[in-house]
Chain A
Amino acid sequence: MASNSNSSERQRIAQQRLRIIAGHLQKHEDGESGLIATECKAEAAGSNGANKGTMPKKRQEVMKWNGWGYSDSKFLFNKKGQAEFTGKRYRLSGMILPSLQEWFENTFGASVKQHKSPATPALNPGALPPPNLNAAFLKDLKATGIPFSHEADDRVFRAHGHCLHEIFALREGRGFQRVPDTVVWPNCHNDVVKIVEMACKHNVCVIPYGGGTSVTGALECPPNETRSIVSLDTSQMNHILWLDEKNLVARIEAGIIGQDLERLLNERGYCTGHEPDSMEFSSLGGWVATRASGMKKNIYGNIEDLVVHMKVVTPRGVFEKSCQGPRMSTGPDIHHFILGSEGTLGVVTEVTMKIRPIPEYQKYGSVVFPNFEAGVACLREVAKQRCAPASIRLMDNEQFQFGHALKPQVSSIFTNFVEGLKKFYITKFKGFDPHQLCVATLLFEGDRERVLQHEKQVYDIAAKFGGLAAGEDNGQRGYILTFVIAYLRDLGLEYYVVAESFETSVPWDRVLDLCRNVKERITRECKERGVQFQPLTSCRVTQTYDAGACVYFYFAFNYRGLADPVRTYEQVEHAARDEILSNGGSLSHHHGVGKLRKEWMKESISDVGLGMLKSVKDQLNSERPKWLHSFQVSRPCVSRNVQAECLSTTQQCIRLHLTHCKNRCQ
Chain B
Amino acid sequence: MASATLYSQRDPMLKKRDDFEDILEERRKSSDLKYALRCYAPVLYKGLTPCKANMLKNMVLQSDNVKYVINQVSLESGEALDIVHEEASVILEEMAHRLQISTVRFFAYALTKAFKTIFQHICVNMDGIQRLQQAIQEHPVVLLPSHRSYMDFLLMSYILYTYDLALPVIAAGMDFMGMKIIGEMLRMSGAFFIRRSFGGDKLYWAVFSEYVKTMLRNGFAPIEFFLEGTRSRTCKSLTPKTGLLNIVMEPFFKGEVFDVHLVPVSISYERILEETLYARELLGVPKPKESTSGLLKARRILSENYGSIHVYFGQPVSVRSLAQGTINRSKYTLVPRHLPRKPMEETQSFVNDTAYRIVRLQEDSMVLKPWVLMASLLLQNLEGLELSVLTEQTLWLRGLAQCYGAFMDWPDHAPAAKVVSSSLALHKGLVCVSEGWVSLVVGEPQVPMTAEEALFNRAVSVLSCASYRNQVLHVFIRPAILAVAMHNADSSKKDEVYNCFSFLYTMFSNEFILCPGDTVQDFDEACYLLVKSGAVQTLQQGIVGTDRSQPILSFLKGLLDSFLQGYQLVCRFLREEASDGLTEKQYVPAVRSFAVKLILAGNLRCYEVLSSDMQKNALAALLRTGAVRKVKIADQVTLKVNKMALNSFEDTLGGHLPTQKAVLARL
Residues of chain A having any CB pair with chain B under 8 Å: 507, 509-510, 513-514, 516-517, 520-521, 524-525, 528, 575, 581-584, 603
Contact A582 B5 (CB under 8 A): no
Identify the closest chain A residue to B2 (Cβ). A528
Q: Is B437 an interface residue (CB 8 A)?
A: no
Give the complex CA separation of A516 and B47 in angstroms: 10
Q: Is B337 an interface residue (CB 8 A)?
A: yes
Partner of B1, one of A507, A514, A528, A603: A528
Dominant SS at the A interface?
helix
Contact B255 A510 (CB under 8 A): yes
Identify the closest chain A residue to B337 (Cβ). A509
Contact B255 A513 (CB under 8 A): yes
- Within B90-108, which residues are at the interface with A (CB < 8 Å)? none
Contact A516 B1 (CB under 8 A): no
Known: A524-B1, A525-B1, A528-B2. A513 touches B333 (CB 8 A): no
Give the complex CA separation of A297 and B337 in angstroms: 29
CB distance from A573 to the nearest CB of B (A): 15
Contact B5 A513 (CB under 8 A): no
Known: A509-B336, A521-B258. A583 touches B1 (CB 8 A): no
CB distance from A617 to the nearest CB of B (A): 26
Scoring B residues 644 to 664 as 1 if CB is less than 8 Å from chain A, else 0, what string do you get?
000000000000000000000
Partner of B329, one of A507, A528, A582: A582
Question: Can you give 17 contacting A-B residue pairs, CB < 8 Å?
Answer: A507-B333, A509-B337, A510-B255, A510-B333, A514-B255, A517-B255, A520-B258, A524-B1, A528-B1, A528-B2, A575-B1, A582-B328, A582-B329, A583-B255, A584-B330, A584-B333, A603-B330
Using Cβ atoms and an 8 Å threshold, which residues of chain A touch B256? Answer: 513
CB distance from B334 to the nearest CB of A (A): 8
Contact B333 A583 (CB under 8 A): yes
- Within B318-334, which residues are at the interface with A (CB < 8 Å)? 328-330, 332-333
Identify the closest chain A residue to B323 (Cβ). A582
CB distance from B452 to the nearest CB of A (A): 62
Partner of B255, one of A524, A525, A584: A584
Give the complex CA separation of A509 and B328 in angstroms: 19
Using Cβ atoms and an 8 Å threshold, which residues of chain A touch B5? Answer: 528
Give the complex CA separation of A161 and B286 in angstroms: 77
Using Cβ atoms and an 8 Å threshold, which residues of chain A touch B1? Answer: 524-525, 528, 575
Using Cβ atoms and an 8 Å threshold, which residues of chain A touch B332? Answer: 584
Give the complex CA separation of A581 and B332 in angstroms: 11
Using Cβ atoms and an 8 Å threshold, which residues of chain A touch B258? Answer: 516-517, 520-521
Using Cβ atoms and an 8 Å threshold, which residues of chain A touch B329? Answer: 582-583
Using Cβ atoms and an 8 Å threshold, which residues of chain B touch A583? Answer: 255, 329, 333
Using Cβ atoms and an 8 Å threshold, which residues of chain B touch A603? Answer: 330
Scoring B residues 331 to 344 as 1 if CB is less than 8 Å from chain A, else 0, what string do you get?
01100110000000
Contact B330 A582 (CB under 8 A): yes
Give the complex CA separation of A528 and B329 in angstroms: 22
Give the complex CA separation of A575 and B337 in angstroms: 23
Give the complex CA separation of A528 and B255 in angstroms: 21
Give the complex CA separation of A524 and B139 in angstroms: 13
Using Cβ atoms and an 8 Å threshold, which residues of chain A touch B333? Answer: 507, 510, 582-584
User: Which 8 A-B pairs rank lowest in CB-CB distance, beginning with the nearest?
Assistant: A584-B333, A582-B329, A583-B255, A520-B258, A513-B255, A581-B330, A517-B258, A528-B2
Using Cβ atoms and an 8 Å threshold, which residues of chain B touch A516? Answer: 258
CB distance from A397 to the nearest CB of B (A): 15
CB distance from A326 to the nearest CB of B (A): 33
Using Cβ atoms and an 8 Å threshold, which residues of chain B touch A513? Answer: 255-256
Give the complex CA separation of A41 and B403 in angstroms: 91
Using Cβ atoms and an 8 Å threshold, which residues of chain A touch B337? Answer: 509
Give the complex CA separation of A643 and B2 in angstroms: 27
Known: A514-B255, A525-B1. 20 other contacts (CB 8 A): A507-B333, A509-B336, A509-B337, A510-B333, A516-B258, A517-B255, A517-B258, A520-B258, A528-B2, A575-B1, A581-B330, A582-B328, A582-B329, A582-B330, A582-B333, A583-B329, A584-B255, A584-B330, A584-B332, A603-B330
Give the complex CA separation of A350 and B100 in angstroms: 73
Give the complex CA separation of A521 and B259 in angstroms: 10
Identify the closest chain B residue to A373 (Cβ). B49
A507, A513, A514, A525: which has the most chain B beta carbons within 10 Å? A513
Identify the closest chain B residue to A520 (Cβ). B258
Give the complex CA separation of A517 and B47 in angstroms: 12
CB distance from A294 to the nearest CB of B (A): 27
CB distance from B134 to the nearest CB of A (A): 14
Using Cβ atoms and an 8 Å threshold, which residues of chain A touch B328? Answer: 582
CB distance from B660 to the nearest CB of A (A): 45
Identify the closest chain B residue to A506 (Cβ). B333
Give the complex CA separation of A525 and B2 in angstroms: 9
Contact A582 B2 (CB under 8 A): no
Using Cβ atoms and an 8 Å threshold, which residues of chain B touch A525? Answer: 1
CB distance from A89 to the nearest CB of B (A): 42
Identify the closest chain B residue to A585 (Cβ). B333
- Within B327-368, which residues are at the interface with A (CB < 8 Å)? 328-330, 332-333, 336-337
Scoring B residues 1 to 13 as 1 if CB is less than 8 Å from chain A, else 0, what string do you get?
1100100000000
